[in-house]
Structure 1
Amino acid sequence: MIRRIAFVLVTALLLASCGAKKRTTNRERKTSVAKTKETRGQNTKISDSNSEASGLYVLPEDSGKFVKFPIANTQEYIETFAEIAQFEMRAYGIPASITLAQGILESGSGKGALTLKTNNHFGIKCHTGWEGEFDFHDDDERGECFRKYNHPMYSFRDHSIFLSSRSRYKFLFNYRRDDYKKWAYGLRQAGYATDRKYPQKLIALIERYDLDQYDDEVVDAGLDTVRKPKKYNVFTHTVERGDTLYAISRKYEISVDELMRINRLRSTNLSIGQVLNIRKEKSK
């Protein structure tokens, strides 16, 4: 009888102990979730590590205005992101007006489904070599892979890196930094968008909302990277037996992409006697 009573008491103590642990675990779990929600609502400082590694232009601290989503309208989108667009203009030379217009168009003024779930304001797909977070979204095809960012600032920075690091956009940086019309048509020419009216849409947004004022502010403040278009020597090369685009590009010290763009080539195939335009920057 005594053994039975002792067994019952030990069992009861064990059950009580387990219940306490479960309750503690539940409390801890709720606290953890609450802290996570609280952290997401706080103003966060952007880490310098990524920005330093990708251009030596450290992102500014978040003033807190980037967390107010969804954005009500296009005007509020502009007020929210004009400052970061100007920062990127100073760092990489892309007109703030172009960055803002592309953001408005690609993200639906910050209200698009893709932007809301990924902070991707420019519809940049994963592409080969992307090692960051990603998500899937229906675009030209179902379930395409898009880059995902933990903060909108990273999307604006990645947009700058995307344009400045690819050879097909290199010629854009020969334009004046405040010549938004040339940039708009140049983006279409370089294949940024398949929409034939993409340049007109960007220009219409820039002129409707006076976005070029943000370019002027940066230029007036003395942006030293704003420059006149480069001057070039233009001549021709006649294709001979054994010539390849790669060999010609090495000979004249220009990229294959640049050769194809200048001559509007759709493939790397050449014909003997074919005349190629060559363009080289004049020495200073």
Structure 2
Amino acid sequence: MKKIILLVLLIGIGVSSCKSKKRYSDQLRTKNVLNERRKSTADISKKEENANLPAEPSKFVRFNIDSPSEYINTFAETAQIEMMGYGIPASITLAQGLLESGNGKGELAMKTNNHFGIKCHKGWEGDYDFHDDDAKGECFRKYNHPMYSFRDHSIFLTTRSRYAFLFNLRPTDYKGWARGLRKAGYATDPKYPQKLIYLIEKYDLHKYDKPSKKVDYQTTTVATSGASNIHTVQKGDTLYSLSRKYYMSVDELMKLNNLRSSDLSIGQPIKVK
């Protein structure tokens, strides 16, 4: 009788063990599938975000910049391209770049091409390096070319809800942007707004807040046909995003194009000023 009971127990343990192994195997398989889906989605998202940038160099490109004026001359066009694509004033981007990167000569900028002091944060899957900031050995994002730092700065501000109110400001309101960045928690320095405003006014950076004909718009999401002032609607375009790109209100766009609704179709021509 004892042998029978022992045999039953052993069989039960064996069945339970098989079930546990199968359950663990199923959970592991499901986890792997989910991870692959997340990775695939992240890769697609990253490709879309950087679709309008030249391919990032495979090796680290070091920039040797001697002065604030040289920094501005080097990156003014890049800041304007980002402004046209994301609605962030070029003056603000340049002032933040000057301040955060130490005119491009700071230790962090030199070893990571990170011109905006953006830390790794949760979800960052790119390259990184460690640098002493608020605490010792903090994780900062690393790029092989500064242009990708500028694009990441644009994405960083446009994808975090705490900065959303900034995009309700006039595109030329650099003072409002400077104060708003501090209010939203971009920097802990209480004098951060004054420093940005000082740089903007000292170097006349606000002149870059108006689109320049010299900017190569082929590298942006903007598609216009020059003299005819026609924008061809692309994926992701909305009347609001177009209003910021062309310094027009949504009402002006609707009246100019005789639109009765805000719905847009890909390939649709839109008159702009």
Partner of 2:73: 79
**Cα displacement (A) at 1:69:** 2.4
Partner of 1:54: 49
Which structure has the larger Rg? 1
Q: Which runs of 5+ in 1 are unaligned?
A: 1-48, 231-284
Q: Where do residues 1-284 of structure 1 align in structure 2 (5 Å cutoff)?
A: 52-54=47-49, 58-59=52-53, 69-218=63-212, 224-226=243-245, 227=247
Letter in 1 for 2:49: S
CA distance in 2, matches of 1:127, 1:100: 23
**Cα displacement (A) at 1:51:** 6.3
- Over the matched positions of the two proteins, sequence identity in percent amounts to 67
TM-score of the aligned structures, taking structure 2 as reference length:
0.60
Q: Which has the higher contact order (CA 8 A, sep 6+)?
A: 2
Structure 2 SS opposite 1:123: coil
CA distance in 2, matches of 1:67, 1:110: 13
CA distance in 1, matches of 2:117, 2:85: 21
**Cα displacement (A) at 1:217:** 3.4
CA distance in 2, matches of 1:82, 1:50: 27
What RMSD over aligned residues (CA atoms) do the two structures have, in Å?
Answer: 2.8
**Cα displacement (A) at 1:100:** 0.2
Q: Deviations over 1:18-59 (max 9, x none)?
A: xxxxxxxxxxxxxxxxxxxxxxxxxxxxxxx88642276x02
Q: Deviations over 1:53-81 (max 9, x none)?
A: 2276x02589xxx9672200100000000
Structure 2 SS opposite 1:217: coil
Q: Which runs of 5+ in 2 are unaligned?
A: 1-43, 216-228, 230-241, 251-273
**Cα displacement (A) at 1:178:** 1.6
Structure 1 SS opposite 2:210: helix
Q: Deviations over 1:227-259 (max 9, x none)?
A: 5799xxxxxxxxxxxxxxxxxxxxxxxxxxxxx
User: Do the aligned residues in 2 keep the contact of 1:176 with 1:229 (CA within 8 Å)?
Assistant: no
Structure 2 SS opposite 1:94: coil
Taking structure 1 as reference, are residues 98 and 133 closer, same or farther at Cα in structure 2, changes over 3 Å only?
same
Taking structure 1 as reference, are residues 229 and 200 closer, same or farther at Cα in structure 2, changes over 3 Å only?
farther
CA distance in 1, matches of 2:50, 2:143: 18
User: Do the aligned residues in 1 keep the contact of 2:62 with 2:110 (CA within 8 Å)?
Assistant: no
User: Do the aligned residues in 1 keep the contact of 2:128 with 2:140 (CA within 8 Å)?
Assistant: yes
CA distance in 1, matches of 2:50, 2:86: 9
User: Do the aligned residues in 1 keep the contact of 2:61 with 2:144 (CA within 8 Å)?
Assistant: no
Taking structure 1 as reference, are residues 158 and 185 closer, same or farther at Cα in structure 2, changes over 3 Å only?
same
